[in-house]
């Protein structure tokens, strides 16, 4: 359910961009939500796969590592929260 919600947030941000409405708030919302969902989902996958998921050659390990990087690179989650807050007039 969260993956589908993240997908629709991304579609909406992309649609707004295509319409010429470069809405930073919507892009930040999509990026923040999708990266946080990716960390939760891949964390669950790590739990399900147990010890084998921690082996560096495991695809699950790579997915988790890549998902975690999404919350750090291209704007940390905290920065995305600030962008969203400014976009709705909180800061």
Question: What does the block give as tokens for 53?
Answer: 């998921």
Distance CA 13, CA 25 (A): 9
Which residues, in sequence order, are CB contacts of 61 under 8 Å at separation 6+? Answer: 46, 53, 54, 55
Distance CA 50, CA 15 (A): 39
Active site residue 74: yes
Say which of 26, 36, 57, 74 is annotated catalytic: 74
Question: Where in the sequence numbering do the catalytic residues fall?
Answer: 74
């Amino acid at each position: 359910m969260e993956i589908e919600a993240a997908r629709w947030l991304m579609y909406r941000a992309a649609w707004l961009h295509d319409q010429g409405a470069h809405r930073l708030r919507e892009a930040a919302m999509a990026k923040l939500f999708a990266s946080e969902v990716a960390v939760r989902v891949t964390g669950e996958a790590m739990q399900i796969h147990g010890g084998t998921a921690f082996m560096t050659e495991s695809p699950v390990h790579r997915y988790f590592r890549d998902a975690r990087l999404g919350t750090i690179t291209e704007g940390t989650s905290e920065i995305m929260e600030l962008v969203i807050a400014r976009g709705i007039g909180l800061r």
